[in-house]
Structure formats: C-alpha cells, structure tokens
Structure 1
Amino acid sequence: MKKVAVFGKPGSGKSTLSKLLADKTGLPLYQLDSMLYTKDGAFVDRKEFDAKHEEVLKSDCWIMDGFGPIGAFYKRLEEADTLIYIDLPYITSYWFVTKRLLKSVFVKPEGWPDGSSAIKGTLASYKVLKLCPKFWNKEFSEKLQLMSAAKSVHIIKSVNELSRVEFL
C-alpha cells in the first residue's frame, strides 16, 4: 500500500478514514477539497489543480481522498495500487453531512480548506448526493471489480465496517 485512493459519496467518512490511514502508515495525505478550493470556497484555477494533482500522482507514495474532476478521478484510480470505496447507504451519507454541519459550529470539518463555509459546503454536498446515483451505480461497481485483478480494492458498505477497517 503506497498509493491509495479513497472515494465515495459526500459525508461518507473519506477524510476521517484517510487521516487514520495516513497516521497508521506514515503515507502523505492529500485531501482533494484542499487542492480544489480556495479558502473562500471558490474553485482554484483548473490548470493549477491539474498540475498539483499530477505532481502528487507522480510521487512515490500518497493517500488522496475525494472525487474532483472526472478525468482526474479516473487517472487517480489508474495510478493507485489501493482503492477504498466507501459505499454507505444514502440515508447514512445524508445524516453524516448534516452531522458535519452541526459539528462545524465547534470544529472545522476534517479535510475542509481553512476558512471555507460549512453552510456552502453542506448545500453543495446535498446537491452532489442527489446526483450520485447517476455515477455510483452498478456500472461503476463493475468497473471497480475489473480493476481488482491488478489492485487491492476495498469496498466499505456500512458504518460498522468503516469503524473497524480491517486492512490497516
């Protein structure tokens, strides 16, 4: 496990799991939201993001969590030796997004850029969750299964599995 891509729906625990993995393995962590957004919540210049993303992918080891632009996402899946797909039920993801908003009154959400708006981020997460079934579907799962011949693929389907990650 040297190049790890962690992905899934908003509010699925990607950033929390990625931080835990980084702490346990010593691999450098790159949280995609911090690469994609400025402190005020605006998108960084696409060329700037692509250059940073490519730089990380070419390095010897990394953990990267998030989705981002579709082309960058698939490139990350190709480069990674370990894929971790957090596929919690939608109701759980909606609850986690809401819980993250409530907690943000006291602490910055894990993986969020400093100074970003929890309200804007939450609304964006709800919008993305609504669109997720168009992407996180049977076709995507089949693509992931094909990749598992050459990579270590872990699919986490419950909060219980997420809390006792066994591949660490």
Structure 2
Amino acid sequence: MKKIAVFGKPGSGKSTLSKALASETGIQLHQLDSMVYTKNGELVDRSSFDEAHERILSSESWIIDGFGPINSFHQRLEAADTLVYIDLPYLTSYWFVTKRLLKGLVVKPEGWPDGSSVLKGTLESYKVLRLCPKFWNDDFTARLKVLSCRKSLYIVKSVSELNDFVYRSIK
C-alpha cells in the first residue's frame, strides 16, 4: 500500500479516512479539493492542476482523497496500487454533508480548502449527490472489480466499516 486513491460521493468520510490512513502509514496525503480550488473557492487553472497531479502520481507514494476532473480520476485509478471506494447509502451521505455544514459554521471541515465558503460547498455537494447515481452505480463497481485483479480494492459500504477500515487494512 504505497499509492492509495480514496474516492466516493460527497459526504462519505473520504477526508477523515484519508487523514487517518496518512497518520498510520506516514504516506503524504493530497486532498483534491485543496488542489482544485484556490483559497477563495475559485477553480485553479486546469494546466496547473494537471501538472501538480502528474507530479504526485509520479512520486514514490501518495494518498489522494477526492474525485477531481474525470480524466485525472481515471489516471489515479490506473496509477494506484490501492483503491478505496467509500459507497455509503445516500441518506448517510446527505446527513454527513449536512453535519459538515453545521460543524463548519464553527470550525473548518476536514480537507476543506482555506477560505472557501462552507455554505457554497455544501450546496454544491447536495447538487452533486443528486447526480451521483449516474456515475457511482453497479457498472462503476463492476469496472473497479476488473481493475482489482492487479491492485487492492476496498469497498466500504457502512459507517461501521468506515470506522474500522484503517485498523483492518493497516494492521
């Protein structure tokens, strides 16, 4: 486990899990939201993102948390030796997004870009969650399983699995 891609719907616990993995393994964590957005919440220049993403992928080890532009996502799936797909029920993801908003009124959420609006990000997360069934579906899971013949694949389907993941996968 040296190149780890962590991905899933908004509000699935990617940032929390990734931070715990980084802490346990000593592998550097790269949170895509902080790479895709500037400190004021605007999108970074695409070529700048692509250069930074390529540098990370070519490094010896990494944990990348998030989705990002679709072609970079597919590059990560190919480059990673470990895929962690967090596929919590939609109701749970909606609750986690709402909880992040409420908590974000007091403290910056885990993995949240500095200076970005938590309210604006939450509304975007709700919008993305509505669209997720078109992408995060059984066809996607089947494609992941094909990839897993040459890498480790973990599909986390419940909060209890999410809470136990780091301990089970590292120990």
Question: Which band: TM-score by shorter chain?
Answer: over 0.9
Point out 4+ residue stretches in structure 1 off by more than 6 angstroms: none
**1:105 Cα deviation after fit:** 1.4
- 2:101 and 2:154 map into 1 onto residues whose CA distance is 28
**1:31 Cα deviation after fit:** 0.2
RMSD between aligned residues? 0.5
Q: Aligned partner of 1:136: which letter?
A: W
Equivalence map 1:57-76=2 (5 Å): 57-76=57-76
Equivalence map 1:129-148=2 (5 Å): 129-148=129-148
* Per-residue Cα deviation, 1:68-119 (whole angstroms, up to 9, x for no partner): 1110000000000000000000000000000000000111100111111000
Structure 2, unaligned runs of 5 or more? none
- 1:81 and 1:97 map into 2 onto residues whose CA distance is 29
Give the secondary structure class of the aligned counterpart of 2:95: helix
Residue in 2 aligned with 1:111?
A: 111
- 2:104 and 2:33 map into 1 onto residues whose CA distance is 16
Residue in 2 aligned with 1:78?
A: 78
Count of residue pairs the alignment pairs up: 168
Residue in 1 aligned with 2:169?
A: 167
- 2:39 and 2:102 map into 1 onto residues whose CA distance is 20
Residue in 2 aligned with 1:26?
A: 26
Residue in 2 aligned with 1:125?
A: 125
Give the secondary structure class of the aligned counterpart of 1:78: helix
- 2:92 and 2:152 map into 1 onto residues whose CA distance is 25
Q: Aligned partner of 1:93: which letter?
A: S
Give the secondary structure class of the aligned counterpart of 1:161: helix
Matched, 1:47 2:47: yes
Percent identical among aligned pairs is: 67
- 2:105 and 2:137 map into 1 onto residues whose CA distance is 34
- 1:150 and 1:67 map into 2 onto residues whose CA distance is 21
Give the secondary structure class of the aligned counterpart of 2:108: coil
- 1:93 and 1:117 map into 2 onto residues whose CA distance is 19
Q: Aligned partner of 2:117: which letter?
A: S
**1:39 Cα deviation after fit:** 1.1
- 1:164 and 1:139 map into 2 onto residues whose CA distance is 26
* Per-residue Cα deviation, 1:41-88 (whole angstroms, up to 9, x for no partner): 110000000000000000000000000111000000000000000000
